[in-house]
């Protein structure tokens, strides 16, 4: 396990090659350590084509350069199961974060309108979605082993992909006269796993031991972080890390894929981390969609007091 800045980097090559099987244990141990210490790590040799990643970032920049009225034509299909607004949006004036975004669901659920250009944007976004889903399934399998769970447990527990989503995001440049340059306020992800593809502008930071650690861009890498669902299932053994995005002098582009449990899935500490080892559960159980709805409300109707923002501590015992 190496480090980019101070974040761990894990080579996934052993999971794809016959002659690498002897190295799987070491790679899995590296993932476990990263999840326990940082909650974040970068992966290389992940089988998401670098050409696709480069094309995706290039076309997303072209999309966000379109006139607002063109971008606003992108809307989610009716009847989506995911309780989040789909399609194009930008942070409203009363929100401190400074970015605009496109929320994408499974292509089978669809977006019912795309702008005329840029050419190839829709196909590229959907290919990214498919490749990120494959990578999420692999990371989940690795976590299953790291957590000491029965073979296939997480695969069976999290077997419905209809609550996954991806956000394509552009952060506005920081201006010299601004007193703050926050592009996305500090938070943790509600997901099981989040995958992040970022350009070379930088700005993503992870909170560790009271200090903000830059998640420096590393050519060909994808950043992985553990979300609240895994933190609860593991009874805090694995860490859902606080992170933020600080704006730079240039636009920043990123793709974030949220590998989520189905909304009707019950989330609570597993017996492998509680009763089986004599530990008390640190969280009460909840339906995932209820927590996701509370998290959405943080953004759509921001509380007047910071202490009223709902995070996973809402369910702490």
- Which residues participate in catalysis according to the annotation? 252
Q: What are phi and psi of 134, to 5 degrees?
A: -60, -45
Closest of 1, 7, 3, 2 to residue 211, by C-alpha: 7
CB distance 155 to 141 below 8 Å: yes
Backbone angles phi, psi at 266, to 5 degrees: -85, 130
Residue 124, SS3 per DSSP: helix
In the chain, helix, strand, coil percent, each to 5?
35, 25, 40
Closest to 221 in 3D by CA, of 45, 3, 55: 45
Strand, coil or helix: what is 61? Answer: helix
């Amino acid at each position: 396990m190496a480090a980019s800045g101070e974040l761990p980097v894990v080579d996934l090559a052993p999971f794809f090659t016959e002659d690498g099987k002897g190295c799987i244990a070491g790679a899995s141990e590296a993932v476990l350590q990263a999840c326990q210490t940082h909650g974040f790590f970068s992966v290389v040799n992940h089988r998401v084509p670098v050409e696709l990643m480069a094309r995706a970032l290039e076309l997303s920049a072209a999309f966000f350069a379109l006139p607002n009225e063109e971008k606003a034509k992108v809307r989610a299909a009716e009847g989506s199961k995911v309780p989040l607004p789909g399609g194009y949006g930008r942070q409203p004036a009363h929100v401190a974060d400074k970015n605009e975004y496109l929320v994408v669901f499974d292509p089978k659920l669809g977006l019912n309108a795309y702008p005329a250009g840029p050419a190839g944007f829709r196909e590229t976004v959907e290919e990214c979605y498919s490749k990120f889903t494959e990578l999420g399934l692999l990371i989940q399998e690795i976590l299953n082993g790291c957590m000491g769970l029965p073979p296939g447990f997480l695969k069976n527990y999290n077997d419905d992909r209809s609550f996954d989503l991806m956000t394509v995001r552009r952060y506005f440049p920081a201006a010299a006269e601004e007193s703050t340059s926050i592009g996305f306020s500090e938070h943790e992800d509600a997901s099981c796993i989040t995958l992040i593809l970022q350009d070379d502008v930088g700005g993503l930071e992870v909170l560790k031991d009271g200090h903000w650690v830059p998640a420096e861009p590393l050519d060909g890498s994808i950043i992985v972080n553990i979300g609240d669902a895994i933190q609860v299932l593991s009874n805090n053994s694995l860490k859902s890390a606080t992170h933020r995005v600080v704006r730079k002098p240039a636009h920043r582009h990123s793709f974030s894929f949220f590998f989520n449990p189905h909304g009707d899935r019950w989330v609570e500490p597993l017996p492998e981390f509680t009763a089986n080892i004599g530990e008390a559960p640190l969280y009460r159980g909840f339906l995932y969609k209820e927590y996701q709805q509370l998290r959405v409300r943080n953004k759509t109707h921001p509380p007047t007091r910071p202490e009223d923002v709902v995070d996973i501590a809402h369910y702490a015992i």
